[in-house]
Copies of this chain bind each other. A is one copy, B any other.
Amino acid sequence: MSPKVSKEHLQQRRADILEAAKRVFIQYGYEAATMKHVMEEAGVSRGGLYQYFSNKEDLYETILKENLSEVSDKTKRSLDEKTASYWDLLLLRVFGEDKQPNDEMDPLAPSNLEFFITGRNDERRRKYGQQRYRKGLKVYADVIEAGQKSGEFSSQYDSKVLARTIISFIDGLALDHAILPEEDVQLKDQSTMLLEYLKMTLNVE
């Protein structure tokens, strides 16, 4: 398809592989996914794949990196510009675009948890995870702190503690729904509980 350079083709191929890999990780999870799965899904050979990514870890971290930005960046930007209430900002960060409890969840969330928890004893992976987490944490903490300073939110809880707790809460929900079927309790129900929690701890509405 693209021997001897061409940059565009090269990037396209890379993007294709990344897309395929993402699908594979969503389907199998991080541990169970193999490079062979990715090869087949992307329609590329072993050698071809390794030309772009040196191993599964590299591949996954690339996906993580490119996925991180979206909502988080948007929240950060909005915070700087202060285009909405802090409460709206927080809802945006927590629930995404529709800003309210919903049934959707980042399909990569389970794999992410898997990636970080299985990597907790690996120096490199742990450092990477922590760094990443801190960034995410900061977004929450900043919004909360700003909201508290403005008087929009109650200041009864420490912004950092609250931020970390909210993230734990969210991760817990993702974990729970990765393992368990919906049955009588829907993800939406629990998202609503999370919303209630936010209202209570920030004393909003």
Contacts and interface: CB of A to CB of B under 8 A. Distances in A.
Interface of A: 28-29, 31-32, 110, 113-114, 116-118, 120-121, 126, 129-130, 133, 157-158, 160-162, 164-165, 167-173, 175-176, 178-181, 184-185, 189-190, 193-194, 196-197, 200-201
Total identical chains: 2
Contacts of A175: 113, 117, 168, 171-172, 175
Q: Which 3 A-B pairs have the closest CB atoms?
A: A172-B172, A168-B172, A168-B176
A178 B115 CA distance: 12
Contact of A117 (B158, B179, B189): B179
Given A31-B118, A200-B200, A165 B190 contact: yes
Contact of A162 (B120, B162, B193): B193
Contacts of A196: 201
Contact of A164 (B118, B160, B185): B185
Contacts of A160: 184-185
A167 B161 contact: no
A167 B161 CA distance: 19
B179 A121 contact: no
Q: Could you say which of A31, A158, A173, A193 has the most chain B C-beta atoms within 10 Å of its C-beta? A: A193
A118 B172 contact: no
Nearest to A192: B161
